[in-house]
Chain A
Amino acid sequence: MAQRAGAVIVPRWPGAIVIALVLLLTVGTLIAVLTRADTFGGLGSADRAAISFTLLQAVLSAAISVIAAIPVARALSRRRFRGRSILITLLGAPFILPVVVAVMGLLAVFGRNGLLNDALTMIGAGRVSIYGLAGVVLAHVFFNLPLAVRMILQGWQSIPAERFRLAAALDAPVFSLLERPMLRAVLPGAFASIFLICLTSFAVALILGGGPKATTVELAIYQAIRFDFALDRAAFLAAIQFAMSLVAAGIAWFLAVPDASGAGLDRMARRWDGASIFSRLSDGLAIVVAAAFLIVPLVLVVLRGIGGLGDVPVQIWPAIVRSVLVAVVSTSLTILAAVALSVRGGRGVVVASALPLAASSLVVGTGLFIMVQPILNPAKIALPVTAMMNALMALPFALRIMEPAVTKAERDFGRLSTSLGIVGWARVRMVILPRIRGSLGFAAGLAAALSMGDLGVIALFATSDQQTLPLLMYQLMGSYRTDAASGAALILLGLSLGAFWICDKWGRHGAEN
């Protein structure tokens, strides 16, 4: 419908500023990287090893996550049991779980002194090591199996209940008739999006990778900057990383990534297949194994954390303050940017929600490092840069949550507001913000938790007197102070979940009106 052109309904210039900033931080830093990249040396053998390890771990992580997710999603889609909705909620939890904390939990199960090795020793078998390829893939599966389950479950839920009735009435095979076509449509997108996530995941490789056999490109960038002070080489590697991300993001875009928002996952279609003992047992097994895989490490984080609280060093206090400050600043920036962009609408939203996903934080961080290094010591601005980067990385998720809410508020109350002369900033303050409160709180919660647990750019910029809590935890783990690290993990877990809970709770309060 033709709306009135020319009249100022909502302010549009703040959105333009945000788009300019996003372009500067993504495309601008990329240009800085490319102009600095030392290509004369060409690809060394270490570079080639890093590239192939990066691709190998991403392919394995994505393939295992997606394949393992199929029986779990199938079981969740056709079984009704106590705790089903809690389990589905829990599948969303890894998103706000700090990587260092999850790795701590995985170490408690699969690590040198973990449950698995204790059991293996007891039966006289050899020990397994979690470091290297196995550990990196394990951690990536821990984070992305739940995501894959949500995407595939969404596919199962999208099969109309009538089709199951029809299949039952005709006694037709449900798998080949309904499930195989759905899986064929959903799996490639799920694989591609998890592949992209694993391609740009830095913290897991930092903690569990390393050495000539298990170094990702991002880890190599970090080592080039931190240990060799070789900016040209870091820039070269960053250009390679960007090229890989770009190809993967393009493929994921082309394949249409499935919805994992979790909306409507509580619905269940009545089904008539899967009544045999075998399928009941296999569904039960899939659910129990998946739940244990997710829950046991977290329970161990809590149990060992309580024991380790007494060993936490005194530096934890300034680290907590820094982490909270960075989270507050980055969450505010994310929300301001997301509001400005959603209100503006249009093409800018698409750009700002796609670019940060394709750009990895290490590539952007390298670019920023190159840009500021001639002017001042990068360590001086470690915390502001981290806050800005965290805001940039959370922006796509915040937009995906808030933009539909702003659109709905305008659709429902736009005309009434305009007819009453509520335009410009008054429109944002009096109508849009109160209407999107629930989505805003949820998005702020995600942004705060993501920032609280971030171990990316901060590792690149910070010196030892600027640690955030995840960085301090990583250093404690590196110096084998396991008890202290366990205590810090529990505190970090509490801060991340607490930050999410406070924001989400604020959003829900009064959102029913």
Chain B
Amino acid sequence: MALKIDDLRIRLDDFSLKANCAFEAGKVTALIGASGAGKSTFLSALAGFVDCDGGDIRWNGARIQGLPPARRPLATLFQDNNLFPHLTIAQNVGLALGPRLRPLSKDRGPIANALDRVGLAGFDARKPAQLSGGQQSRAALARVLLQDRPIVLLDEPFAALGPGLKRDMLALLRDVILSPERVVIMVTHDPEDARYIADDIAVVADGRVMPPAPVADVLDNPSDDIKLYLGLH
């Protein structure tokens, strides 16, 4: 099972990005590159928020390019605003099962279960503002877990957390989200994050998304692009 990207071309004003690569299920792939290289734009194109000028995105051979965001087999964690502040944690998580604020009775069990998996059992009735930053990230992860989509995209959702908390969240992500049937792609600025959680790294540079390669290969025998990014000469 894999997410295949063939000759994808994105053009926004004076910026353009090409991608020709595949992401395998059962692995976490880190997207690494300088600011403005197009990491977030690439995720937005996969999620359906940015129109592509050409090429194809396929999941297990089925074309998802052109589908509206909610109909694509993927779930996204954004940089911020992953929870609606006016809804309770249970309502926020329950939105994974459909656009309704009162969960169906058959949904109550799965919602409680998802909250339990991320360590937020009993937090159902609280509003996001009553939770710490780490707890808010956990609630967002619970929603992604409940969405149960085969592709999970993370656009640096834990960047605002301290280093220790971020590690905890990455571990939790690997623990509850990653499965043999699931592709996880995450944007990161920090090569150490990639080393800590990712299996592969895909470098975004020079207007291209390079095919993923094992973390050790990329970081230990860096190409010129990576050297430049890491500040190695």
Q: What 0/1 readout, one digit per residue, does chain A (425-451) give for beta carbons within 8 Å of chain B?
A: 010001100110100000000000000
Q: Which of A2-10, A100-108, A234-242, A278-286 contacts B (4 or more CB under 8 A)?
A: A2-10
Point out the residue from B49, B81, B100 that lies within 8 Å of A3, measured CB to CB. Answer: B49
A39 is an interface residue with CB less than 8 A from chain B: no
Complex interface: chain A residues within 8 A of B210 (CB): none
Point out the residue from B12, B44, B70, B85 that lies within 8 Å of A420, measured CB to CB. Answer: B70
- CA distance in complex: A61, B44 (Å): 55
Whether A419 lies near B75 (C-beta < 8 A) is yes
- CA distance in complex: A80, B59 (Å): 65
Whether A419 lies near B47 (C-beta < 8 A) is yes
Residue of A nearest to B51 (CB): A2
Q: Which of B19-27, B91-99, B191-199, B221-229 contacts A (4 or more CB under 8 A)?
A: B91-99
Whether A4 lies near B95 (C-beta < 8 A) is no
Q: How far is the CB of B179 from chain A (nearest CB, A)?
A: 20
Whether B51 lies near A419 (C-beta < 8 A) is no
B166 is an interface residue with CB less than 8 A from chain A: no
Whether A418 lies near B84 (C-beta < 8 A) is no
Residue of A nearest to B76 (CB): A419
Point out the residue from B49, B51, B82, B98 that lies within 8 Å of A418, measured CB to CB. Answer: B49
Residue of B nearest to A5 (CB): B51
Whether B86 lies near A435 (C-beta < 8 A) is yes
Q: How far is the CB of B103 from chain A (nearest CB, A)?
A: 13
Q: Which residue numbers of A lie inside 8 Å of B, CB to CB?
A: 1-5, 7, 412-413, 415-416, 418-423, 426, 430-431, 434-435, 437, 510, 512-513
B230 is an interface residue with CB less than 8 A from chain A: no
The 5 A-B pairs at the shortest CB distance, nearest first, are namely A421-B70, A434-B86, A422-B99, A426-B99, A2-B51
Whether B86 lies near A1 (C-beta < 8 A) is no
Q: How far is the CB of B76 from chain A (nearest CB, A)?
A: 5
Q: What 0/1 readout, one digit per residue, does chain B (43-71) give for beta carbons within 8 Å of chain A?
A: 01001111100000000000000001111
Contact status of A4 and B68, CB under 8 A, knowing A418-B49, A420-B99, A430-B99: yes
Complex interface: chain A residues within 8 A of B84 (CB): 413, 416, 430-431, 434
- CA distance in complex: A510, B12 (Å): 39
Point out the residue from B78, B86, B98 that lies within 8 Å of A510, measured CB to CB. Answer: B86
Complex interface: chain B residues within 8 A of A512 (CB): 129
Whether B127 lies near A513 (C-beta < 8 A) is yes
CB-CB contacts below 8 Å: B129-144 with A: 129
- CA distance in complex: A4, B101 (Å): 26
Complex interface: chain B residues within 8 A of A3 (CB): 49, 51
Q: How far is the CB of A439 from chain B (nearest CB, A)?
A: 14
Whether B70 lies near A419 (C-beta < 8 A) is yes
- CA distance in complex: A510, B86 (Å): 8
Q: How far is the CB of A405 from chain B (nearest CB, A)?
A: 13
Q: How far is the CB of A417 from chain B (nearest CB, A)?
A: 8
- CA distance in complex: A16, B69 (Å): 26
Given contacts A1-B49, A434-B84, 9 further A-B contacts (CB under 8 A): A4-B51, A413-B81, A416-B78, A416-B82, A418-B49, A418-B69, A419-B76, A426-B99, A426-B100
CB-CB contacts below 8 Å: B72-90 with A: 75-76, 78, 81-82, 84-87
Q: How far is the CB of B11 from chain A (nearest CB, A)?
A: 9
Point out the residue from B69, B75, B78, B98 that lies within 8 Å of A4, measured CB to CB. Answer: B69
Residue of B nearest to A511 (CB): B86
Whether B49 lies near A420 (C-beta < 8 A) is no
Contact status of A412 and B127, CB under 8 A, knowing A1-B50, A423-B70: no
Whether A420 lies near B96 (C-beta < 8 A) is yes
CB-CB contacts below 8 Å: B97-117 with A: 98-101
Q: How large is the interface on B (under 10, 10 to 19, 20 to 34, 35 or more residues)?
A: 20 to 34
Whether A2 lies near B68 (C-beta < 8 A) is no
Q: How far is the CB of B24 from chain A (nearest CB, A)?
A: 23
Contact status of A422 and B95, CB under 8 A, knowing A4-B49, A4-B69: yes
Complex interface: chain A residues within 8 A of B47 (CB): 415, 419
Q: How far is the CB of B142 from chain A (nearest CB, A)?
A: 14
- CA distance in complex: A430, B95 (Å): 11
- CA distance in complex: A419, B154 (Å): 13
Point out the residue from A4, A7, A420, A513 that lies within 8 Å of B86, measured CB to CB. Answer: A513
- CA distance in complex: A421, B70 (Å): 5
- CA distance in complex: A312, B197 (Å): 78
Residue of B nearest to A510 (CB): B86
Q: How far is the CB of A416 from chain B (nearest CB, A)?
A: 6
Can you report 15 A-B residue pairs in the complex whose CB atoms are below 8 A from each other? A1-B44, A1-B49, A3-B49, A3-B51, A4-B49, A4-B68, A413-B81, A415-B76, A416-B78, A418-B70, A421-B71, A421-B98, A421-B99, A426-B100, A513-B86
Residue of B nearest to A6 (CB): B68
- CA distance in complex: A3, B75 (Å): 18
Complex interface: chain B residues within 8 A of A437 (CB): 86
Q: How far is the CB of B128 from chain A (nearest CB, A)?
A: 8
Complex interface: chain A residues within 8 A of B98 (CB): 421
Complex interface: chain A residues within 8 A of B70 (CB): 418-421, 423
Whether B82 lies near A4 (C-beta < 8 A) is no
Most buried by B among A426, A430, A435, A510: A430
Complex interface: chain A residues within 8 A of B100 (CB): 426
Whether A2 lies near B12 (C-beta < 8 A) is yes
Residue of A nearest to B70 (CB): A421
- CA distance in complex: A437, B127 (Å): 16
- CA distance in complex: A506, B96 (Å): 30
- CA distance in complex: A435, B87 (Å): 10
- CA distance in complex: A63, B198 (Å): 69
Complex interface: chain B residues within 8 A of A418 (CB): 49, 68-70
Complex interface: chain B residues within 8 A of A510 (CB): 86
CB-CB contacts below 8 Å: B192-226 with A: none
- CA distance in complex: A419, B82 (Å): 11
Q: What 0/1 readout, one digit per residue, does chain B (142-163) give for beta carbons within 8 Å of chain A?
A: 0000000000000000000000
Most buried by B among A4, A412, A423, A512: A4
- CA distance in complex: A435, B81 (Å): 13
Q: How far is the CB of B110 from chain A (nearest CB, A)?
A: 16
Q: How far is the CB of B101 from chain A (nearest CB, A)?
A: 6
Whether A513 lies near B69 (C-beta < 8 A) is no
Whether A420 lies near B50 (C-beta < 8 A) is no
Complex interface: chain A residues within 8 A of B51 (CB): 2-5
Residue of A nearest to B97 (CB): A420
Contact status of A1 and B12, CB under 8 A, knowing A420-B99, A510-B86: yes
Complex interface: chain A residues within 8 A of B87 (CB): 434
Most buried by B among A2, A421, A422: A2
Complex interface: chain A residues within 8 A of B44 (CB): 1
Complex interface: chain B residues within 8 A of A420 (CB): 70, 95-96, 99
Q: How far is the CB of B105 from chain A (nearest CB, A)?
A: 20
